[in-house]
Amino acid sequence: MNTERDLSLPLHIMLIAGEPSGDALGGQLIKALKDSGAPMKFSGVGGPMMAAQGLASLYPIDDIAIMGLAQIIPRLAVLKRRVDQAVSHANTAAPGAVVLIDSPGFNHPIARRLKRRGFLNPVIKYVAPQVWASRPGRAHKIARFIDHLLVLLPFEPPFFDAASLPNTFVGHPVTERLMRPGAGAAFRAQRGIDARALVLCLCPGSRVSEVKFLLPVFHQTVNALKQNIPGLELIVPVLPNVSETVRTAISSWDIKTTFVKSQNEEEKFAAFDASTVALAASGTVSLELALSGVPHVIGYKMGWLTAELARPFITVSYATLINIIGKREIVPEFIQEHCSPQAMATAAELFFNDEQTRTRHLADVAAIVETLRVKGAPPSKRAAKAILEVVKDHRLDIDT
C-alpha cells in the first residue's frame, strides 16, 4: 500500500473519537491543528464539537458510544462494521497520520488492523489507557500497534517509557476550557431562576447506556434532597445524543427543572456556573465541575456482569481522577453497590448547608486541577505540535 504523500498537498489527518468526551478533545485538537497555519484537511469520526471544526464524520458517533457488556453484545455487528469502515477509509485515503482519541475498546482494534494491513504512516493515540489503574501489562501490548502516545497526566510517561512506547505529556485539555465571568448570573436571569435559589446541577452521563443505569438512582437522590432543602431546583445540562432520553425520563419528576441541551462548551459551563452543587456521573465532567468551582458528588453504576469482570483488574482505590491524583476522597464518590440515593443525598446536602465543608472541598479540588496544567502553550496546541512533529520525523525517516 502506498502511503507516500505529495508535500505540495494539504496534510491529511484522520481522527477518530468514540464518545462525547473524545469529541470535545477532538474539537479542540482540530482547531489547534488549523491554528498552526499548515495546510490541512481532516476526515474520520466525531460528534458535534469536531463537526463545528469542519470534520464530516464517516458515521454517527452514537453508533460506537456504548459502554457495558449487556449494551455492547447486541451491537457487536454494528461495531465491527464501523471498525471495518474506519480501517477501509484509512487504507483508501492514506492520511498522513491517524489520531485515535481515547475509547480504547473501539480504537485499539482499528490500530491493530491498520498495522496488520501494512499502514505505514504514524498511528497516534491521544489519551493514554489508564494502565496505572488496571492491567499495567497493556502498556507493552499497545506499543505493538501505536507509534506515539499523547498523555494527559504528569505521572503517566514512565509507564510507557518502560514499554519503549514514544510519548509526549501534553497536559489535560479540560484546563484550557474558559468560563465566562458572570455567565451563571446571566444564565439564571435568562432562564427565570431566582438569584437566591439553591440549584442542583444533574449530570447523568454522556452515553444512553449509562444514563439509563443512573437516572433512577439519581431521581431517588433528588427526592431525598427535596425533603431537607425546600425550594430546591434542578439544572440538567445534557449532550444532544442523550437529550431525548433524559428529557423523557425527568419530565415526570416533581421538581422545577431547567433542561439544557448543550450545543457548545460555553452553554454547558454557564449552566455549571449557575449551579450551587452538582450530582454527576463519573468521568471528565468531574474535572469540568472542579474547574467551574462547583462542589460535586459522583455516582456511578454499570451492569453487574461488567462490574464483576472488571473488579479483579482494578488497582486504584478510587474512580474519580481528582481522588486518584489526590490519593484520598476529595470528591465524594459512590460507585456500583455504594451508589445509594441516601448516601449521595447526605453528601450533597453537606455542600448546600455547611460552608466550611464547601470551602475546603473547593480549595482541595482547585489544587488538584492546578497539577494538570502545563506552562506555556495550552494542551491542545501542545498535542497539535507533537502530532506535526511525529509526522515530520516520519517523513524524514522515509526520505533518508
* CATH number of the CATH domain containing 42: 3.40.50.2000
Based on the fold, state whether residues 153 and 296 are members of the same structural domain.
Answer: no
Beta strands in the chain (DSSP E): 11-17, 40-45, 97-101, 123-126, 148-151, 167-169, 199-203, 233-238, 257-261, 277-281, 296-300, 333-335
pLDDT of residue 310: 61
Is residue 72 one of the residues assigned to a domain? yes
Based on the fold, state whether residues 353 and 390 are members of the same structural domain.
Answer: no
d(CA 349, CA 293): 17
Based on the fold, state whether residues 393 and 367 are members of the same structural domain.
Answer: no
Is residue 188 one of the residues assigned to a domain? yes
Domain that holds residue 308: 183-371
Which residue from 293, 267, 302 is spatially nearest to 358, judged by alpha carbons? 293
Based on the fold, state whether residues 155 and 202 are members of the same structural domain.
Answer: no
What would you measure as the largest C-alpha separation in the chain, in angstroms? 72
The pair phi, psi for residue 397, each rounded to 5°, is -60, -40
Helices 183-191 and 265-273 cross at an angle (nearest 10°) of 90
Is residue 177 one of the residues assigned to a domain? no
d(CA 159, CA 223): 44
pLDDT of residue 3: 46
For residues 95 and 13, the answer to whether their CB atoms sit within 8 Å is yes
Based on the fold, state whether residues 292 and 339 are members of the same structural domain.
Answer: yes
Based on the fold, state whether residues 276 and 348 are members of the same structural domain.
Answer: yes
Q: What pairs with residue 305 in β-bridges?
A: none
Per-residue pLDDT of the chain (400 residues; tens, 9 = 90+): 444 445 557 999 999 998 888 999 999 999 999 999 989 999 999 999 999 999 999 999 988 876 555 556 666 788 899 999 999 999 999 999 999 999 888 999 999 999 999 999 999 999 998 887 667 788 899 999 999 999 998 889 999 999 999 999 999 988 887 667 789 999 999 999 999 999 999 999 988 888 988 999 999 999 999 999 999 999 999 988 888 999 999 999 999 999 998 767 888 999 999 999 999 998 889 999 999 999 999 998 866 556 555 665 565 678 898 999 999 999 999 998 899 999 999 999 999 999 999 999 999 999 998 888 888 889 999 999 999 999 999 887 766 5
* DSSP SS3 for 236: strand
* DSSP SS3 for 64: coil
What is the pTM assigned to this prediction? 0.81
**Which three cell numbers mark 279?**
450530582
Based on the fold, state whether residues 158 and 238 are members of the same structural domain.
Answer: no
CB atoms within 10 A of CB 182: 10
Q: What pairs with residue 40 in β-bridges?
A: 11
Query: What would the 3-class secondary structure string for 356-371 be?
Result: HHHHHHHHHHHHHHHH
Which contiguous run of DSSP H or E holds residue 292? helix 285-292
Based on the fold, state whether residues 248 and 358 are members of the same structural domain.
Answer: yes
Based on the fold, state whether residues 158 and 204 are members of the same structural domain.
Answer: no
The pair phi, psi for residue 200, each rounded to 5°, is -100, 125
Is residue 73 one of the residues assigned to a domain? yes
Is residue 2 one of the residues assigned to a domain? no
**Which three cell numbers mark 35?**
491554528
Is residue 4 one of the residues assigned to a domain? no
C-alpha distances out from residue 100 to 18, 25, 138, 150, 253, Å: 9, 11, 16, 10, 39
d(CA 119, CA 136): 27
Is residue 31 one of the residues assigned to a domain? yes
**Which three cell numbers mark 139?**
502498556
Provide the domain count of the chain. 2
Based on the fold, state whether residues 95 and 197 are members of the same structural domain.
Answer: no
Based on the fold, state whether residues 66 and 146 are members of the same structural domain.
Answer: yes
d(CA 110, CA 87): 6
Based on the fold, state whether residues 257 and 307 are members of the same structural domain.
Answer: yes
Is residue 143 one of the residues assigned to a domain? yes
pLDDT of residue 50: 95
